[in-house]
Amino acid sequence: EAQVTQNPRYLITVTGKKLTVTCSQNMNHEYMSWYRQDPGLGLRQIYYSMNVEVTDKGDVPEGYKVSRKEKRNFPLILESPSPNQTSLYFCASSLSMRENQPQHFGDGTRLSIL
Amino acid sequence: GNSVTQMEGPVTLSEEAFLTINCTYTATGYPSLFWYVQYPGEGLQLLLKATKADDKGSNKGFEATYRKETTSFHLEKGSVQVSDSAVYFCALSDRSRTGNQFYFGTGTSLTVIP
């Protein structure tokens, strides 16, 4: 089954404790992206990647890092999480960088930073 | 810059009522436009898309027409069902220097009552 898998689905942690949210897709997609979803703000793009070893900042990259060492994986790293990063996070992928390609979303990761 | 504005919710309708959710956009280039739907506890799923002016996207009885002259992409359905209750997001993708960025509206929550 074609899917985007995120882990963990839920995480409660404390300020400053490094964490990684994994994202994996099995569709051989070139393009991958991370979003955060906050009430009243919709989805905002954090980082995206056109292909292996190619990443770029979205609208809200501060406090996050990403890497794309393999085509299928695109982890999101919070080196020193803070409470304002409490949010619902989605990973997404699409076939290529062509702008008319729709994205496939994971089921989300709810992070709470205390 | 690029942005998407969609009507505030929540929207509550009776079954078989007509639905319109307004969406307007601002884009520097020639974007593709999308509607995504999010059911509770799930990620976003593509509902329909349109890639150029005057294109009409349609799926599951929903329709939206890419109107360049009014920079709009309003979502419509002639007769809603209880199963259509969800949050709907309007989105655009536009090519940047290094790839595609996606921009989402804030989402409109729809509840359909029997």
DSSP B28-87: SS--EEEEEEE-TTS-EEEEEEE-STT-EEEETTEEEE-BTTTTB--EEESS--GGG-EE
Does B102 contact A4 at a Cβ distance shorter than 8 Å?
no
Instruction: pLDDT band for B62, please (50, 70, 90 cuts).
Output: very high
B59–chain A nearest CA distance, Å: 14
What pLDDT sits at residue B1? 79
The residue of A29, A74, A88, A99 whose CB has the most chain B CBs within 10 angstroms, and thus the best one to mutate to test that interface, is A99
Instruction: Categorize the per-residue pLDDT at B12 as very low, low, confident or very high, splitting at 50, 70 and 90.
Output: very high
Chains A & B: contacts with CB separation below 8 Å: 76
Phi-psi region of A97 (alpha: psi -120 to 50; beta: other; left: phi over 0): alpha
pLDDT of residue A40: 85
Q: What pLDDT band is residue B97 in, cutting at 50, 70 and 90?
A: low
CB-CB contact of A50 with A30 (8 Å): yes
Mean pLDDT value across residues A7-14: 96
Residue A29 has pLDDT above 70, yes or no: yes
Say if residue B34's pLDDT is above 70.
yes
* Digit-coded pLDDT (tens) for A64-109: 999 999 999 999 999 999 999 999 999 999 988 666 778 899 999 9
CA B78 to chain A, closest CA, distance in angstroms equals: 25
Q: Is A44 touching B (CB cutoff 8 A)?
A: yes
Handedness of CA B28, B95, B54, B77 (dihedral sign): negative
Q: How far apart are CA A20 and CA A14, in angstroms?
A: 13
B:9-68 residues touching chain A, CB 8 A cutoff:
31-32, 34, 36, 41-46, 49, 51
What span, in angstroms and rounded, lies between the C-alpha atoms of A81 and A64? 9
* CA dist., res. B27 & res. B40, Å (int): 30
CB-based contacts of A30, cutoff 8 Å, min separation 6: A50, A51, A71, A94, A95, A96, A97
User: What single-letter DSSP state applies at residue B105?
Assistant: -
Distance CA B10, CA B7 (A): 9
Asked if B99 lies within 8 A of A54 by C-beta distance, the reply is yes
- Residue B47's nearest CA partner among B32, B31, B64 is B64
B44, B88, B96: best to mutate for the A interface, most A CBs within 10 A: B44
| Average confidence (pLDDT) over B32-36 | 94
Residue in A with minimal Cα distance to B6: A42
A71 phi-psi bin (left φ>0, alpha ψ -120 to 50, beta other): alpha
Q: Which helix (H) or strand (E) holds B4?
A: strand B3-6
**Closest Cβ opposite residue A99 in set B93, B105, B106:** B93
Residue B98 has pLDDT above 60, yes or no: no
Q: How far is A52 from chain B (nearest CA, A)?
A: 13
Contact assignment for B99 to A105 by CB distance below 8 Å: no
ω into residue A102 within 30 of 0, thus cis? no
